[in-house]
Amino acid sequence: MNEHVQYLNDIGEPFAAGLLEYPEGPLPMTYCRAYRRYYETCPIVYRAGAPLFPAGITTHPYTAVTADGTETKTYVYPHYAHQYWINWPCLEQKDARAAAIMREYATRFRYAGEWNHSMLNYKRILAEGIDRYEQRLLAKQESDFRTALLDLIEGLRTYHRRALEALPAMGAPEELIDALKHVPFSPAKTAYEAVVALNFCLSLDGWDNVGRLDSILSPYYKGEDMRPWLRCMMLSMQENDRWSITLGPDYSEVTRQALEASVGLARPLTQLRVTDGMPEELWELAAKRILEGGGQPAFYNEKAIQSRLKGRIPHLTEEDALEFSGGGCTETAFAGYTYSGGTDDNINVLEIFEKYMHEQLPHAKTFEEFYENFVTLLHAEQDIQMATINAYWNRRAETCFAPIRTLFVEDCIDRGIGWFQGGARYTFSIHSDSGMPNTVDSLLAIRHLVYEEKRYTPEAFLALLTAEDPAFYAELKTCPAYGAGDARADALVKDLTTRFYEHYRTGKLDLGLGFFPTAHQFTRHVREGAKVGPTPDGRHAGMPEADSLAAVNGKAVKGPTVMLSGAACYEQKDIYGMAVTNLSITRKYSPQVIRALVEGYFALGGTQLQITAVDRNTLLEAREDPDSHRDLIVRVGGYSDYFRNLTDQLKDAVIARTLFE
């Protein structure tokens, strides 16, 4: 054992020590050894009487025990998206020498800077057990890859054994202990064993995403009330601030129980795939959930999504396509088969437009010239983005290895290739943009006031905008706007978004299928708006950008039907990562109207709709007195959260949304 490994173990940083056991060795062995050391030392987290293990907060920092028996917090730990994470300020404070050691090695071992969500192949884990994974590896030719994953499985065995030894004294029911003696290393035989195994494996590197929960569990369902078990798993996901479940399109009693089990929780995010034949009972239950508040479930247009993904991935099989799920907030994946970004990069379209407008508006003789040159500039920025992502992916493949994802995502074992190295069956980049609705309205205002009505010269227009002149801003409000029933506005948004998203089809990705854009602005609409000065859509400097495909706040003056019709003109056929639309209504709406809005939007080609039912007075009260509405849940963008947990900027952005009475 080298000096650094010994020192890091002595101060209670076992994961960091594991990383350095093979300081110059192959990446798979380096990372898998670190994960093994984690499983040998991490706490056994359990809430007495809970039907599942683990139960409670397992995210980090966690308590480690040093060689002399001292308990200490550890600040280097595994992370499902980044592979591992270092809390540098806390590590520096804990031990400056440890921080110096990790800085020396961090450039070699850490390059996973962006988020990467995925789902393990839980169906296969439950059907075959982890023992079968070990057998598959043993049947392969000897290699560093094989040795590393076998080392990882040994760490999982140790963790499993430690749990079985500790649980009796922690108040665990015999039923749970008996189930864990069997799963997840052997195939699940009952519905309870299936949920126990799913929960155990879901927690292994941080509770990321479940995938198609009802499809995973339905083969084991024999009439049980699974809601207490599902509730326990979902509560742990929420406590650890984690992500999503997908339901449908092969609906079952498990679908209904999952919807009921998640009542009152902000997490997991519930994604309901909507078909023409979705049962009436599920429509009623989904609408009831919406009207109770919280923005869940979100609705997904099954027909449109399947058609688009099959067109984009010619070799996508029917069986694999059925595994469509949203990872993280809602990034597209095929559960158990995918590596995708989440998200790899963002283009702030409005920021690009603002700079272009000030530089080029005085020189453009016609709106057509101004518009076409802007589209050309956007394509150039997209080319830069795609080249940057490709270089980042290549560098990450050289420096990162994802142990749990490589072991449990198809076809990494069969190919002998890591998850980050292109081993998954479907690999593609998901990246985003922000500010597109604001940009469209800005273009409409310029066309109307400068080129058609000729009320202002370009110079005067820009001067008044920069000064944020109140009278000028009042005039901006009278301009045509996207999502307000103006045919020419809808035509412009369709043209711009079609050309923008189609351009990503031209990009090449060395390690995958290519670039799958998404349009889910969620929290970035605040931080991206902070970078942008006043814009002709009526924004003041630093104000948030649009938080979804929906019309800019305050402009959907003709109601939700017209707004959604406009959102359907936002061309979504090439937004494979997922196109998010927010709709805020009061609780006066009937379930029948909610269903009509969803089905109507989907009939027009809309991809996804998330509905928050709340009244503005409640939001205002909750902002002033958080304790008065501690359980208030709102849809932020791609995710829901307790209103009290949001930043002041996000609270204001939610309150500012157009609320349809």
Q: Buried b / exposed e across 52-70, counting CB within 10 Å, b at 16+?
A: bbbbeebebbbebeeeeee
Residue 52 C-beta-side C-alpha neighbours within 13 Å:
29
Taking only the tens place, the pLDDT of each residue in 475-499 is: 999 999 999 999 999 999 999 999 9
- State the pLDDT at residue 643: 78
Q: What are phi and psi of 247, to 5 degrees?
A: -125, 140
Is the pLDDT at 424 greater than 90? The verdict is yes
Instruction: Please check the confidence at residue 111 and state whether its pLDDT lies above 70.
Output: no
CA dist 262 and 234 (Å) reads: 7
User: How far apart are alpha carbons 482 and 492 in whole angstroms?
Assistant: 9
In 575-627 the beta strands, taken as DSSP E runs, fall at 578-579, 582-585, 608-613
Alpha-carbon distance of 140 to 86, in angstroms, equals 34
Question: CA 120 from chain center: how many Å?
Answer: 15
Q: Does residue 531 have a pLDDT over 70?
A: yes
Question: How many percent of the chain have pLDDT more than 70?
Answer: 97
User: 254 φ, ψ to 5°?
Assistant: -65, -35
Burial class (CB in 10 A: 0-12, 13-18, 19+), 89: exposed
Please enumerate in sequence order all residues whose Cβ is within 8 A of that of 587, keeping only pairs 6 or more positions apart, or say none: 291, 293, 613, 614, 615
pLDDT of 343 reads 83
Q: What whole-number distance in Å separates Cα of residue 248 and Cα of residue 271?
A: 9
β-strand 331-334 against 324-327: which pairing, if any?
A: antiparallel
Residue 658 has pLDDT above 70, yes or no: no
Higher pLDDT, 53 or 619: 53
pLDDT by residue (tens digit) across 221-269?
999 999 999 999 999 999 998 899 999 999 999 999 999 999 989 899 9
Omega prior to 560 cis, within 30 of 0: no
d(CA 322, CA 250): 9
pLDDT classification of 112: cutoffs 50, 70, 90: low
DSSP 68-121: TS-EEEE-EEEETTTEEEE-HHHHHHH-HHHHHHHHHHHHHH----S-------
Could you give the CA distance from residue 615 to residue 155 in angstroms, rounded to a whole number? 50
**For residue range 130-182, what is the model confidence (pLDDT) as tens digits?**
999 999 999 999 999 999 999 999 999 999 999 999 999 999 999 999 999 99
Return phi, psi of residue 209, to 5°: -140, 150
444 token code pair: 């409409």
Question: Does 654 have pLDDT greater than 80?
Answer: no
Q: What is the mean pLDDT of residues 425-440?
A: 96
Q: What does each C-alpha distance from 261 to 50, 266, 289, 622 come to in angstroms?
A: 15, 12, 11, 26
Burial of 435: CB neighbours in 10 Å, binned 0-12, 13-18, 19+: buried
Query: How many C-beta atoms lie closer than 10 Å to residue 616's C-beta?
Result: 15
379 token code pair: 């394509």
Residue 277 has pLDDT above 60, yes or no: yes
Over residues 366-406, the pLDDT tens digits come to 999 999 999 999 999 999 999 999 999 999 898 889 999 99
* pLDDT at residue 110, as a whole number: 60
Q: pTM to 2 decimals? A: 0.94
The predicted pLDDT at position 437 comes to 95
Residues 90, 106: contact at Cβ < 8 Å?
no
Mean pLDDT to the nearest integer, 610-635: 78
Give the residue-averaged pLDDT of 340-353.
92
Which band of pLDDT confidence, cut at 50, 70 and 90, is reported for residue 450?
Answer: very high
pLDDT band at 502 (very low <50, low <70, confident <90, very high): very high
pLDDT at 521: 72
- H runs (alpha helix) in 361-479: 367-399, 403-408, 412-415, 436-446, 458-467, 470-476
- pLDDT tens readout for residues 221-234: 999 999 999 999 99
pLDDT above 90 as % of the chain: 77
As beta bridge partners, residue 194 has none
Provide the residue ranges of all domains of the chain, joining segments of one domain with +: 3-109, 346-573
Interaxial angle between packed helices 591-603 and 280-291, expressed in degrees from 0 to 180 and rounded to the nearest 10: 110
Instruction: Give the whole-angstrom CA distance, residue 126 versus residue 195.
Output: 9
E strand segments, 181-268: 211-212, 244-247
Query: Cα-flanking dihedrals φ and ψ of residue 155, to 5°?
Result: -65, -40
Which DSSP category does 539 fall into?
B
Mean pLDDT of the chain: 92
DSSP bridge pairs for 247: 272
Please give the pLDDT value at position 475: 96
